[in-house]
Amino acid sequence: MSHSHRSPAEIRAGLNHPVIDGDGHWVEFDPVFSERMRKVGGDRAADGWLAALKTTQDALSMSLAERRRRRVAQPGFWTRQASNTLDRATAMMPRLLYERLDEFGCDFAIIYPTAGLRMPRIGDDATRRAVARAHNIVTAEYFAKLSDRMTPAAIIPMHTPDEAIEELEFVTKQLGSKVGMFGSGMSRKVPSTPQSDPDGSRLAVWYDVLALDSDYDYDPVWKTCEELGIAPTFHSAGSNQGLRNSPSNFVYNHIGHFAAAGHATSKAVFLGGVTRRFPKLRFAFLEGGVGWACQLFTDLIEHWERRNAKALEKMDPRTLDRALLMQLAEKYGDPDVAASLRKTDGWPDHDPSLTGGVADLDDFSACKITRKEDWVDLYAKPFYFGCEADDKMNGSAFSKHNPFGAKLHALYSSDIGHFDVIDMRDPLPEAYELVEDGVITDDSFRDFTFANSVHLWGTQNPRFFEGTRVAKEAAAELARA
């Protein structure tokens, strides 16, 4: 539908609530940022950060034939604003972003890094930890005097629980950080395929989703998050992996990759029983939208109906009436079917005892689901989903057709600073189109652009919004819960 947009400021003036941007971005200026990292973290931090950035340059420097030979994904090129110089400068300079927030119709913003997005996945342990620490210190310095309207996300590397806890303790107690960007989907070497060449090592990996089948127990991390008032937020990539590894087409690699990463981690957190063991903790999965989350909600319920412990009893091969099956085969089956069954004493399966060697056959056992309300408590309540403003699927979060009529927690996420926002003034009007088109109500828009963000961070940390532009309204919203 065609729209004649009002300005963001005009839309904001017509609202009876603040607007919180749950996922904006700034763009670190490499030459300056690296030297500031060197001052606070030494050569390992600065050089490690620059080396991580260089992987994109190296891939773009290869010929297409070389990327095909080595199975290197086509990365993005021309991904920074150019013709819109004001927006390019705004992304680079936090003080300019601060000054323009009213122009964007935004009262408060959570700001995530750009280059920093890939740092939690640096392979070398010492380098990764040095880069994360220095990046967090320098970022905190950039935003220190802007805290009434913006707060930056600190990088929390998750290769091991110990490194995550150490960085959580540091950023909250030393830097005053209130938002953590947690790593997920870290590549781990497959033990059965030792490789001596870099490409073999790069490709022969599995991806750790933290809460299921990990080599580590991450419960101490979740416990630390509860103690420190930090809601884990994941802004992880799924590009350059599996089915998103085209050597020639960046768009093919890019579409859906944030959703795929969020899908993997949220599914593991749920099935791993994390939301059961830590009912007060809130999790956010950013920039992938909410459409996948609505489908996952339904998929999990449908699988539970067919694969929970009680349902599996009906699938136990030992409950098969072999005599009846034999009679039916002799009456209705071809002669070779009956003959084959007679050889196996009526067993149609090769080995009914094969279950993969798992101790508990119920894939949902960690969730301890006993009533329909559990689904809301374990999925709809603790999970939040970052949604770009122009995503037409955002309305699905508020659909009455979601299981149990539950509304999922969609977070308004401008994604300013990145290539898909042509003009930083566009996101709020684009988000408001859902109201203008009758897809969502004014109340749902309030949840989308304000209340859900308040409950994500304010439930975890009641003092999160103290001293900010939205402190009064956030406190009133939390009091309503």
> In this structure, what are the phi and psi dihedrals at residue 151, rounded to the nearest 5 degrees?
-140, 135
In a domain, 411, yes or no: yes
> In this structure, what are the phi and psi dihedrals at residue 179, rounded to the nearest 5 degrees?
-125, 135
Rounded CA gap, 431 and 413, in Å? Answer: 9
Together in a domain, 375 and 325: no
Can you read off the two tokens belonging to residue 122? 């640096």
In a domain, 283, yes or no: yes
Together in a domain, 121 and 262: yes
- How does pLDDT run across 64-118, given as a tens digit for each residue? 999 999 999 999 999 998 999 999 999 999 999 999 999 999 999 999 999 999 9
Together in a domain, 386 and 330: no
Together in a domain, 82 and 169: yes
Together in a domain, 154 and 215: yes
Which pLDDT score, from 0 to 100, does residue 4 have?
Answer: 61
- Contact indicator for 265, 91 with CB cutoff of 8 Å: no
Together in a domain, 405 and 350: no
In a domain, 341, yes or no: yes
Handedness of CA 357, 359, 361, 367 (dihedral sign): negative
Together in a domain, 274 and 324: no
- Contact indicator for 261, 185 with CB cutoff of 8 Å: yes
- Contact indicator for 262, 289 with CB cutoff of 8 Å: no
Q: Which residues of 124-152 are buried (b: 16+ CB within 10 A; e: fewer)?
A: eeebbbbbbbbbbbbbbebbeebeebbbb
In a domain, 172, yes or no: yes
Q: What is the mean pLDDT of each run of 10 residues along the chain (481 residues)?
A: 76 97 96 97 96 93 96 93 94 98 98 94 94 98 98 97 98 98 93 83 91 97 98 94 93 94 97 98 97 97 94 90 94 94 87 87 95 94 96 95 96 95 96 96 98 97 97 96 72
Domain boundary at 361, 382, 397, which? 361
In a domain, 3, yes or no: no
Q: Indicate the number of domains in the chain.
A: 2
In a domain, 472, yes or no: yes
- The vertex-425 CA angle with 423 and 430, nearest 5°, equals 95
Q: Name the residue among 202, 180, 199 with its Cα closest to residue 189.
A: 202
List own/partner pairs for 129-133 with CB under 8 A and 24 or more apart: 129/157, 129/163, 129/166, 129/167, 130/41, 130/42, 130/44, 130/45, 130/48, 131/37, 131/41, 131/44, 131/45, 131/48, 131/49, 131/52, 132/156, 132/157, 132/167, 133/41, 133/45, 133/167, 133/170
Q: Which residues of 369-392 are buried (b: 16+ CB within 10 A; e: fewer)?
A: beeeeebbebbbbbbbbbbbbebe
- Contact indicator for 206, 263 with CB cutoff of 8 Å: no
Which pLDDT score, from 0 to 100, does residue 105 have?
Answer: 97
Domain boundary at 361, 390, 405, which? 361
Rounded CA gap, 162 and 220, in Å? Answer: 9
Together in a domain, 356 and 416: no
Together in a domain, 460 and 346: no
In a domain, 2, yes or no: no
- Contact indicator for 419, 76 with CB cutoff of 8 Å: yes
Domain coverage including residue 340: 309-361
In a domain, 237, yes or no: yes
Which pLDDT score, from 0 to 100, does residue 200 have?
Answer: 83
Together in a domain, 100 and 199: yes
Together in a domain, 63 and 115: yes
Which pLDDT score, from 0 to 100, does residue 349 have?
Answer: 82
Together in a domain, 189 and 266: yes
Q: Residue 471 corresponds to which amino acid? A: A
Q: Which residues pair with residue 411 across a beta bridge?
A: 386
Which pLDDT score, from 0 to 100, does residue 253 have?
Answer: 94
- How does pLDDT run across 294-327, given as a tens digit for each residue? 999 999 999 999 999 999 999 998 899 999 999 9
